[in-house]
Structure 1
Amino acid sequence: MPFFQDDESLAKYKATLLGASPTNIIVDPSNPKVVIVKSITLLVDGREDVKMELDNAGALGNSTFKLKEGCQYRLRFDFYVQREIVTGLKYVHKVSRHRVPVLKETFMVGSYAPKKELQSYTTPLEEAPSGMLHRGTYKVTSQMTDDDNHDWLTWTWTTEISKDW
């Protein structure tokens, strides 16, 4: 018996997320996951968006986002939610340089109902590190997870901080 089975406020919350007619929405019948992360896009004002497709996460080790030191940027995630509601969706990344951990950040993405439409989340504005000591290549291990600790996608990629674009 689920712990929150008779929780009236939870039932109202789910009804609000699902709308008037909850249906079993399936975007990709061959994919059993509830959250299907499609892409991550680097957004920098005045620059063309750079998109990394996440359909084949195993092949992403060679994918790199290049940033000019001190620039301000955002990341946008495009994803589908199918089959059931996902609560507490979050994006976590760990950044390391020369195998030394440098940064760990968690971004609360939110709770989403299943939809046939692509959904997206954009991180708050961040600033790339600057200065000669910060230039170089960083390894980033990213994960999309939720409050129930489901691992919807884990992938590794690199980011390069340089003096110029």
Structure 2
Amino acid sequence: MSSHQQDPSVGDEELRPTQTEGYKVGEKKTVEEYAQLDANDESLARWKASLGIGAGEGGAGDPSKPKLALHSLSLVSASAPGGRVSINLEQGKEQLEALKKNPLTVKEGVDYQVSISFTVGSEVLSGLKYLHVVKRAGITVDKLEEMIGSYGPRAEPYEKRFAQEEAPSGMLARGGTNVVRSRVIDDDGTVYADWTWAFKIAKDWA
């Protein structure tokens, strides 16, 4: 998924990442430029190795591919059938638009983690963040902002899991659908994905 599917009920101001005071966005570089950076700097060399970049290895990115492609979003829980419930974000536009009408079912009171699977295609992406806003009956009930990190191009998908959360419980929690607008953004404000989905709380996993 690389296209944007936006829910106008969630304003952009609610999906702005927190800014760290005094933080300055670093200059963006190509894979080739990163590969040629000071090879004598051990900490820099370790950072480049974590991105799959080595001296003289430029050209790892594929310019024909999107900078970032999302594959799936999952709610991971030990109690869920198969360990997770997932949304395929590679579906067509119509199927993605139907996500709000076909909410995921989450068992009340369980611990779970939001997880995303994605591929980086054409260049190093740094300072990626995942944000989402949860609304119920038009009222904001939860927000999440998590650092994804920095990643270099590779063919195999990455998976990033975020902090553990606890699903609400009780009759009130089970009484409606939670609409979520999610966004992946980097530290200079570039939005790579923006989509809407939904979940409902039930007595058991469906």
TM-score, normalisation: structure 2: 0.68
Number of aligned pairs?
156
Contact residue 84 and residue 114 of structure 1 kept, 8 A = yes
Residue in 1 that maps onto 2:192: 152
Question: Of the candidates 106, 130, 144, which is equivalent to residue 67 of structure 1?
Answer: 106
Unaligned runs of 5+ in 1: none
Residue in 2 that maps onto 1:94: 133
Unaligned runs of 5+ in 2: 1-25, 29-33, 39-43
Question: Of the candidates 76, 84, 92, which is equivalent to residue 115 of structure 2?
Answer: 76
Question: Of the candidates 38, 52, 56, which is equivalent to residue 87 of structure 2?
Answer: 52
Kindly provide the CA deviation profile for residues 121-152 of structure 1, in whole angstroms up to 9, marking residues without a partner as x: 01122110112222221000011111121111
Relative to 1, partners in 2 of residues 1:100 and 1:107: Cα closer, same or farther, differing over 3 Å?
Answer: same
Residue in 2 that maps onto 1:162: 202
Runs of 4+ in 1 over 6 A off after TM superposition: none
The aligned runs of 1:119-158 (5 Å cut-off) are: 119-135=158-174, 136-158=176-198
Q: Higher strand share goes to which structure?
A: 1
Query: Aligned partners of 1:22, 1:120: CA distance in 2, in Å?
Result: 24
Q: Percent identity?
A: 34
Query: Aligned partners of 2:148, 2:85: CA distance in 1, in Å?
Result: 21
Contact residue 61 and residue 158 of structure 1 kept, 8 A = no
Contact residue 120 and residue 151 of structure 2 kept, 8 A = yes
